[in-house]
Amino acid sequence: MTKKKEEVVAPAHIANTTEKRRLFHEFTFDDINTLNAKVTELTKKKEEFSEEAKLHASIAKGAECEIKKTLQALDEGGEEREMECPVIIDYKEGTYTVKHPETDVVVETRPLKTEERQEPLFKEEQGANEMMDAAVGGTTVEE
């Protein structure tokens, strides 16, 4: 669409008007500097947004993994946790028994090792032996 604008400067038999057209414009030095500054600014913004997008994507991915893990735990009705389990050492029977602290279900029963067979002479010694057992052996779950 063209727009016409009349000017009243020319003699009566000549009409001067303007109309808009799409023509090639050769950039001036100032145009080039302005456009270079715009490219630099937009590139900087793009890089900032890209880094921010990576961060948000990483957070979203971590949240997705946590959601799956939580849903799986809900489906299974529980999850594995580190717990302080009661240990029953029967020197007469020669057994070492570990129980679940919440359900009292036996999770491990085994014969005492040779070094465990000697009953402690003093209560302080028993506490030291328990700490040594925890550091050496650990517990295993038998199904």
Domain ranges of the chain: 1-79, 87-136
The residue assigned the tokens 């890089």 is 47
Confidence band (pLDDT; 50, 70, 90) for 130? low
- Please tell me the chain's helix, strand, coil percentages from 3-state DSSP, rounded to the nearest 5: 45, 10, 45
User: Is 12 or 22 the better-scoring residue by pLDDT?
Assistant: 22
* Stretch 6-27: mean pLDDT: 80
Residue 66 to residue 101: CA distance in whole angstroms:
27
β pairing state of 106-111 and 95-99? antiparallel
Closest CA to 108 of 116, 96, 94, 117: 96
Distance between start and end Cα atoms, the chain: 84
Contact 134, 127 (CB under 8 A): no
Which residue type does 111 have? Answer: P
For residue 89, the cross-strand partners are 96
For residue 134, what pLDDT is reported?
55
Helices within the chain (DSSP H only): 29-76, 123-136
Q: What is the pLDDT of residues 46-104, one digit of tens each?
A: 999 999 999 999 999 999 999 999 999 999 998 899 999 999 999 989 999 999 999 99
Confidence band (pLDDT; 50, 70, 90) for 28? very high
